[in-house]
Structure 1
Amino acid sequence: MDRQIVYPGAIPLETDLLNTNKYALIGLAKLSASIMGEATYLRGLECTPTNPASMTINIAKGEIYSLQNTDGTAYSSLAADTTNSILKQGIILSSTALTLSAPTVAGQSINYLVQVAYSDKDSGATVLPYYNTTDPTAAYSGPAGSSATQNTVRSGICTVGLKQGVAAVTGTQSTPAADEGYTAAWVITVVQGATAITAANIGVSPNAPFLPANGLVDGGQKKTLTHAVDFGSTNAYAANYMPAITSLTDGMELTFKAKTSNTSSAKLAVNSHSAFPLLNIAGATLSGGEILSGGFATVKWNAGLSAWMLINSTGVGAALTNLGLGSTTLKGGLVGTPRIFTASATYTPTPGTRLVKLTLTGGGGGGAGAKATATSQSFSGGGGGAGATVIAYFTLTGVSTYAITVGAGGAGASNTSATSGGITSFAGLYTAAGGQGAQFGSATSAAGGAGGTASGGLININGGYGSDGQSGTFLLTGSGGNSYWGGGGRAANATAGVTGMAYGSGGGGVYDSGLTGTAFTGGAGKSGIAVIEEYA
């Protein structure tokens, strides 16, 4: 942000003050743009009927934020700047009364549009005193003694206007488009014969860019920026967010309060965007009952699928039967005993389940074995790495089944790198990587496998590394890495390797102290596990 520099004893110029004002304006504009971007926004300007009701409405004081020329005309002795644009604030400090008329033809209605615009306005015209070089004791009145008035204030103004539509048969009337430079704010519908306008006749114009009345921080805390009320029909949901959603971005998350329950596949239209399919978290079309009348639905935009993913949904009252809960009272308690999966399967939630705790562990990596190329050599195998563990909580969305993949343990090897453990996952949403198999290096060394890496959960636990194997003065053999559930396979001498002991642990390595040149295979990694704890 620029600041004007002046010096002691220097003769002050009018440009010192003008530039100080201009630099402050630009600095505030850039700060505002860093928060709001460069789109047009409105704040305040509430539209209300009079009390008692009449054919007049009141538009409250408020502001408009709009990208404008820094100065469209000369600012005193500073030239106009129409090259650079900044986000300006237009203010109106008093309410505006607007009077409307009803159609005269029976059965007709008319829509009025309240529109808002930004403008710069110079005011405060007065006759200013000027220095008189001929007689310094007697100031000039106006420049060169002309007695001409000059404006002394440049204001950013919020202008409120009313635009009348064309009367038509009720239900077919249309709202006029905003004039150039104006932004649509409110729509008021007036029917033939009306003598007063009530709150029921007033609505926010679609896509009107209103900011939260109490500020962006308050709006963020209360989620008013990303929450809206559905006004669509069964299986065709529609919601207008304020400020309007101008583009759909991958990962964008929104919430709406559903007007109706879905009975089959459904779509969602946001502001002026087209209606796109609503899919469950598995990417499947909704079948009915996933969204409940009066409940809240949370959706996330998937750009790759061009669809909204239903990631959470809640219902109230009797609508719980649509989730198979009957008259169950939701207390949040544990439902039955934990569900344990040691092999890939399909998980069907127990009736009454709304929330699950997931503990997922990937398969352990296999251990390396021994196979010397001559009796004078010995190969000491490393241990396999353990699978990662991811712990997460997930709110069910009404999907009937979820795919569970349990990673298999990696196979051991004798004179090559061992196999890595498989991935364990829940519906493709949460995954725990398997441990790496021990890595063959040479006839005299093998590195232990790396542990699987965890991410994406509430708690992420990486798998333990397998120990290295080495031949030299001493025979060192790797044991398998430890998993969340316990230890890996121990090292073995001239025999088959020891399999990982606990779920997801690595297989142990093998060494040959007799230098026999016989092939001994390292231990296999232990398979992973998925544990699901269900809560009402």
Structure 2
Amino acid sequence: MDYPKSVPSVGLVNGKFVNEDVIAGLPGSLIPATWGNSVTDELLNVVKSAGLEPSETDATQVLQAVKKLSQAGEDKHASDLGAANLYMANYAPAITALKDGLALRFTAGNANTGASTFAPNGLLPKPLVNLALSALRPAEIVGGSVCAVVYSAALDSWVLVYASGGIALSGRLLGVKTFTASGTYVPAVGMKNVLVKMVGGGGGSAGIPATGSNQISVSGGGASGGYAEAWLDSAAIGSSQTITIGSAGASGPIAEGNGGSAGSGGTSSFGSLVSAPGGGGGNGVALLALPGFGLYTGGFPNQAPSGGNIVSTAGAAGSPGICVNGSVLAGHGASSPLGSGGYGSSALSVAAAPGSGYGSGAGGIGNSVNRPGRQGGAGGPGAVIIYEYA
């Protein structure tokens, strides 16, 4: 669309129409029928393309049409004509050059399986990057999804700002995997980072021997397992990691004259990246003659975890068992962040309380006079919990 410069004697001045100047004796410009019709047809095409019926009395139809077409965004959307990881689309009017901030949409024909590119109207393909400005990971685009991209001149790349059905949103929680038995962790598709929480197995409590007419016996609680939290990226994790779950500390057996020592909890680990040792078990206890005072320690924690870059703490010690002039108070098992320690069992004929939940110590146990020997309790097993993020 332009002024009718090629029409002879049209009377343009400086390339534009002018009015007749009677005083100066200058004629006005002519408006050729061909030019007038072409201008009218061009405006009518805009009106009709928006689905409006042309009206001689409505002077707002071109404005209505422009707004409607802008809302539809048909010039900014096209279907993908490429293949997986190689996205291409043709727009009308054609995109002939890339400009900073150019925003386009396309409906993807295929899911991406890794790093990808995008090319409108046959221009050179440019990398597609996510909101974290890194190469796309698998499934950030899924087949049939509507994708919105913006060209960044600084990056010389297309930034994927939206993908329906995909996992392009950086930081989204993909899921939680809880291991209570040893196994293998395989990252979910699209995983970029994980938050690992783990606890080692809790220690058991010692058994106590049978008592005579002037004897008592009492034990402390088991220690809790070490606890660790770590933030790890996909590069450190790789394709998989071996998960080891720390076993529960075994209960201490009954033994004549001395109670049997309890077992320590096992170490939980996430490959070689993070590990949390188990808590110590209670030691065997000797009979105490009355009257008397006795303090029998519970299990002690082992060394601190390794690899915990958020939290890394050794377990807590089990509470001691106490006797004062024949009165006994069994020690409680230590609690962990993922479980409650077993309660001290000083009542007659009540079994030792095991650790409740993950990584907690077993409760101690106590005997007054003339009671049979009693077995200690088992600690709580370890656990590994993995939160996966896109």
Paired position in structure 1 for 2:75: none
Paired position in structure 2 for 1:438: 282
Letter in 2 for 1:468: P
Deviation for aligned residue 1:374: 3.2
Q: 1:455 to 1:365 in 2, by over 3 A?
A: same
CA distance in 2, matches of 1:325, 1:360: 29
1:2-401 to structure 2, matched below 5 A, reads 316-317=134-135, 320-321=137-138, 328=166, 330-372=168-210, 374-397=212-235, 399-401=238-240
Deviation for aligned residue 1:533: 0.3
1:457-536 to structure 2, matched below 5 A, reads 457=308, 458-473=310-325, 474-492=327-345, 493-494=347-348, 495-516=350-371, 518-536=372-390
CA distance in 2, matches of 1:418, 1:470: 18
Matched, 1:411 2:250: yes
Q: 1:513 to 1:535 in 2, by over 3 A?
A: same
How many residue pairs are counted as aligned between the two chains? 223
Deviation for aligned residue 1:326: 5.8
Q: Is the 8 A contact 1:368 1:508 kept in 2?
A: no
Deviation for aligned residue 1:292: 8.2
Q: Secondary structure at the match of 1:439?
A: coil
Gaps of 5+ in 2: 1-113, 117-131, 143-165, 289-294
Deviation for aligned residue 1:406: 1.0
Q: 1:353 to 1:469 in 2, by over 3 A?
A: same
Instruction: Give the share of equivalent positions with the same residue, in percent.
Output: 35
Paired position in structure 2 for 1:423: 267
Q: 1:372 to 1:351 in 2, by over 3 A?
A: same
Deviation for aligned residue 1:513: 2.2
Letter in 2 for 1:510: I
Deviation for aligned residue 1:360: 0.6
Letter in 2 for 1:446: Y
Tell which structure's C-alpha radius of gyration is larger.
2
Q: Secondary structure at the match of 1:358?
A: strand
Q: Secondary structure at the match of 2:361?
A: coil
Q: 1:395 to 1:384 in 2, by over 3 A?
A: same
Q: Is the 8 A contact 1:370 1:378 kept in 2?
A: no
Q: 1:501 to 1:531 in 2, by over 3 A?
A: same
Superposition TM-score, scaled by structure 1 size: 0.39
Deviation for aligned residue 1:440: 2.0
Deviation for aligned residue 1:388: 1.2
Paired position in structure 1 for 2:307: 456
Give the stretch that moved more between structures: 368-377 or 465-474.
368-377
Q: Is the 8 A contact 2:140 2:168 kept in 1?
A: no
CA distance in 2, matches of 1:411, 1:329: 45
CA distance in 2, matches of 1:483, 1:372: 31
Deviation for aligned residue 1:372: 3.0
CA distance in 1, matches of 2:214, 2:175: 56
Q: Deviations over 1:82-112 (max 9, x none)?
A: xxxxxxxxxxxxxxxxxxxxxxxxxxxxxxx
Q: Is the 8 A contact 1:340 1:529 kept in 2?
A: yes
Q: Deviations over 1:318-357 (max 9, x none)?
A: 6x34xx7666554333333311111111111111111000
Paired position in structure 1 for 2:241: 402
CA distance in 1, matches of 2:305, 2:265: 14
Deviation for aligned residue 1:422: 0.7
Letter in 2 for 1:412: S
Q: Deviations over 1:16-53 (max 9, x none)?
A: xxxxxxxxxxxxxxxxxxxxxxxxxxxxxxxxxxxxxx
Letter in 1 for 2:197: T
Deviation for aligned residue 1:369: 2.8
CA distance in 1, matches of 2:267, 2:216: 33
Q: Is the 8 A contact 1:438 1:446 kept in 2?
A: no
Gaps of 5+ in 1: 1-290, 294-313
CA distance in 1, matches of 2:172, 2:251: 40
Letter in 2 for 1:454: P
CA distance in 2, matches of 1:317, 1:485: 37
RMSD: 2.7
Q: Is the 8 A contact 1:441 1:447 kept in 2?
A: no
Letter in 1 for 2:340: G
Deviation for aligned residue 1:426: 0.2
Q: 1:377 to 1:332 in 2, by over 3 A?
A: farther
Q: Deviations over 1:131-178 (max 9, x none)?
A: xxxxxxxxxxxxxxxxxxxxxxxxxxxxxxxxxxxxxxxxxxxxxxxx
Paired position in structure 1 for 2:297: 447
